[in-house]
Amino acid sequence: MSKKRLPLLLLSGFLILMSCHTKEEKKYDVASVSDSLNYIHLPEVNYFDKSWKTDNTLMYQVLQEPDNLHPTNGQTLMRLEIMQYTQGRLISTDYKTNKLTAELAEKLPVFNASDSTYSFELRKEPKWDNGDALSTDDIIFTLKVYKCVLTQNDFFKPYLDNFNDIILIPEHPLEFKLKVNKPYIQDVAVWGDISILQRKFHDPENLLGQFSISDVADKNFSGKQNQKVVDWFKNFNAGDTGFDLKKLNGIGPYLPTEWEHGQYLVLEKKKNHWTDNSSLESEKSYPQKIIFKVSADPNVNLLEFKKQNFDASTTLSVKTLAALQQDSMFNRNYYSKFTGTFNYSFAAFNMKPDGEKHKPLFNDINVRKALAMLVPYQQINDVIYKGQGIRQAGPVCSYKYNYNEKLKPTEYNFEKAVELLHSAGWTDSNNDGILDKTIQQKTVDFKFDLHIYAGITDWQDLALLYSSALKKAGIIMNIVPLDVPTFIEKARSHDFDMLMSVWTTSVAPEDFTQLWHSSSWTDNGDNYSGFGNTVSDALIDSIRYTIDDDKRNEMDKRFQRMVADEQPYIFLFNSLRRVAVHKRFGHVDMYFEKPGLLLNTLKLRNAANYVSTTP
């Protein structure tokens, strides 16, 4: 999609580059969003090396596998990226313009103010794998499943609250109207994150046909009047729905054919797919096979790219890509760039702990501000980003049009941090080198756990750097690596002290509900910190329904100031994407919008058209 912050985790590329840091400052190929409006096109080279493979299989290095490939209930960015090739959506993003465009719809919908509806028309070409044409029956079924209270996708439902009903037009079977409460800033864009489901595949008995969209969305809906409906949702939400390849179905050009968990996932191009004759470049499916190869070790990735075993990546560590760019053979074989993104990294405080398992360490704003001042930002930027890192000051990426430019990033200030900690009652009363404070008549040491992603060396190294800085101030931080599902579960159930992660965003209008509305904390959503009150909630609600860009942008900036002043996060850096693509492929475009590359459009070059050369 589009435009909202997704509850999906992009594992960022922080890594301490001590091993390759020298006094001589090297120049790395860094492209920011301002360098090009939306994307970078790389022309094909005029040679085809004898060492290059000629098979049409694209080996794509990734850091982790998706949490699942469930049609509605997954939460990771890796899942979204894979499903971009297996599923279809009514709306998508034109990555070369960063504007919304129609995908399964014939054109972008038109809003009708007279009856508060959006008019949609489906394309005639899309067909499911069994030959059935995409129909309005599929659209209705899809919206029912996504909105139903029994579907375990609570993190996504707030974006659908505005949708009331779908009205069919009998004389035009490919057309329908989407009834909404009132115009909402993401009424159209949200369809870019809704994978359209084939009703006959998922619900062959049409069990949900007896209910309206409002019926299944009602909080009191249980389906118990029909045990088959209860069983259907139980099976649909079951874990194997997202892992059993036989249960996966989509209208996209690729099909998952093999999944060796923790190692790789294979997509194969479907035969005689309806997009084969499409004139749209975004609908091309040039590689016969795409293999998502899990490889998180920076040293392994360095060697694999030198041996040309990987064809592409957008998640190499900074250290790895920087080292590779100093290798002439790598540069002969690969295109590579550091590119800007709309993503930012952060560390979230638990501002509303239970008081028992997790002590009230961060409910004092002075403590939160102090810990933000103890992050060695400049050291991270110099060592990791070679001075190219862009600091993040608040909950909107600095590249975005609605960014509050008056916000200033927190800087490292040891003396001021210690002063704030002392003012909050944290002192070393027993001279053991650790700050302590009396809380509920008990002496509590300032010790806490930081949750990070397991298996990602980058996060481990960044956490160690921060831990070292905190220790100088008398604070002990224990680093706790967790797998992605456990990390998310603990974050959403408030079972943490502090966590470090990344939000991936896009150029679209901001709906702050999911990350910052207090209801998203109460309902175990993605408001991990517990930020929010009636004032901030009211502003978020107003932003959602303010269609006028100028008015909404002013409100956006007020909200950004609210968040920055409360310091629920330590805002770290705007993330750099680390992109490499083998030159045996053509049609290489690098995008600032996620996912950075469209793998389906990478076209194997014909070696016969070039004189084979060796360096």
Query: How do residues 147-162 score in pLDDT, each as one tens digit?
Result: 999 999 988 898 899 9
Segment 357-399, tens digit of pLDDT = 999 999 999 999 999 999 999 888 877 776 777 899 999 988 7
Give pLDDT, residue 97: 85
Which of 118-122, 142-146, 156-160, 427-431 has the weakest average pLDDT?
A: 156-160
Query: Is there a domain that residue 418 lies in?
Result: yes
Mean pLDDT value across residues 516-536 = 95
C-alpha span between 559 and 566 (Å, rounded):
11
Find the range with the poorest average confidence among 2-11, 87-96, 206-215: 2-11
Specify the amino acid at residue 185.
I
- The Cβ-side half-sphere exposure at 464, using a 13 Å CA radius, reads 9
One domain for residues 129 and 113:
yes
Amino acid identity, position 26: K
For residue 117, pLDDT over 70 is answered with yes
Q: How far is Cα 491 from Cα 356, in angstroms, rounded to an integer?
A: 17
Q: Is 555 left (phi over 0), alpha (psi -120 to 50) or beta?
A: alpha
Cα separation, 464 vs 203, in Å, equals: 50
The pLDDT assigned to 613 comes to: 62
In a domain, 370, yes or no: yes
For the cut 50, the answer to whether the pLDDT of residue 16 exceeds it is no
Pairing of strands 289-294, 57-62: parallel
Q: Is residue 22 part of a domain?
A: no
**Banded model confidence at residue 18, pLDDT cuts 50, 70, 90:** very low
Asked which of 163, 193, 215 is the last residue of a domain, the reply is: 215
What is the model's pLDDT at position 611?
Answer: 66
User: What residues are paired with 260 via a beta bridge?
Assistant: 264
For residue 317, what pLDDT band results from cuts at 50, 70 and 90? confident
Quick one: pLDDT at residue 20?
Answer: 33
Q: Does residue 258 sit within a domain?
A: yes
Range of the domain at 107: 88-215
In a domain, 239, yes or no: no
226 confidence band (pLDDT: 50, 70, 90): confident
Mean pLDDT of all residues in 274-288: 95
DSSP, residue by residue, 181-236: SS--TTTTGGGGG-PPP-HHHH-TT-GGGGS-HHHHHSTT---TTSHHHHHHHHHH
Q: Per-residue pLDDT for 218 more than 50? A: yes
Domain harbouring 583, CATH code = 3.40.190.10
Residue 236 lies in a domain: no
455: left (phi over 0), alpha (psi -120 to 50) or beta: left
User: Which pLDDT score is estimated for 5?
Assistant: 40
Give me the pLDDT at residue 31, please: 55
Do residues 304 and 310 lie in contact, with contact meaning Cβ atoms separated by under 8 Å? Answer: yes
- Hey, which bits of 493-556 come out as E strands? 498-504
Same domain for 567 and 606: no
Residue 114 has pLDDT above 90, yes or no: yes
What whole-number distance in Å separates Cα of residue 550 and Cα of residue 402? 9
Of 235, 257, 237, which is closest to residue 246 (Cα–Cα)? 257
CB 283 within 8 A of CB 50: no
Residue 205 has pLDDT above 70, yes or no: yes
Query: Within 374-479, where are the H helices?
Result: 377-384, 414-423, 457-472
Contacts with 260 (C-beta within 8 Å, 6 or more apart), sequence order: none
Asked, as a colleague might, if the bond just before 595 is cis with ω within 30 of 0, I would say yes
Residue (of 479, 490, 489) closest to 456 by Cα position: 479
> Which residues sit opposite 499 in a β-bridge?
348, 451
4 domain-assigned: no
pLDDT surpassing 90 at residue 179? yes
Check if the beta carbon of residue 294 is closer than 8 Å to that of residue 313: no
Q: Which of 248, 223, 231, 251 is nearest to 139 (CA)?
A: 251
Which of 166, 189, 215 is the last residue in one of the domains? 215
Same domain, 570 and 428: yes
Task: State whether 284 and 327 are in the same domain.
Answer: yes
Whether the per-residue pLDDT at 509 is higher than 80: the answer is: yes
To 10 degrees, the CA torsion angle through 545, 140, 151, 9?
-60
pLDDT surpassing 90 at residue 479 = yes
Same domain, 441 and 528: yes
Rounded average pLDDT over 314-335: 94
405 and 319 belong to one structural domain: no
Domain containing residue 530: CATH number: 3.10.105.10
Alpha-carbon span 444 to 331, nearest angstrom = 54
Residues 408 and 474 in one domain: yes
Same domain, 486 and 472: yes
Predicted confidence at residue 424, as pLDDT, reads: 97
- Poorest-pLDDT segment among 17-26, 295-304, 460-469: 17-26
| Residue 556 pLDDT exceeds 70 | yes
For the segment 203-207, the average pLDDT, to the nearest whole number, is 97
Strands across the sheet with 343-349, in order?
A: 390-391, 569-574, 343-349, 498-504, 447-453, 476-482
* Same domain membership, residue 419 and residue 505: yes
Pairing, β 312-313 against β 57-62: parallel
Same domain, 185 and 258: no
Percentage of residues of the chain with pLDDT beyond 70:
93
Summary mean pLDDT of the chain = 90
Report the C-alpha gap between 122 and 117 in whole angstroms: 16
CA dist 386 and 322 (Å) reads: 10
Domain end call among 215, 235, 261: 215
* % of the chain beyond a pLDDT of 90: 77
CATH number of the domain that 132 lies in?
3.90.76.10
Query: Does residue 391 share a domain with residue 279?
Result: no
The answer on pLDDT for 328 being more than 70 is yes
The number of domains in the chain is 3
Based on the fold, state whether residues 595 and 446 are members of the same structural domain.
no
The answer to the question of residue 237 being in a domain is no
Name the pLDDT band for 50 (thresholds 50, 70, 90): very high
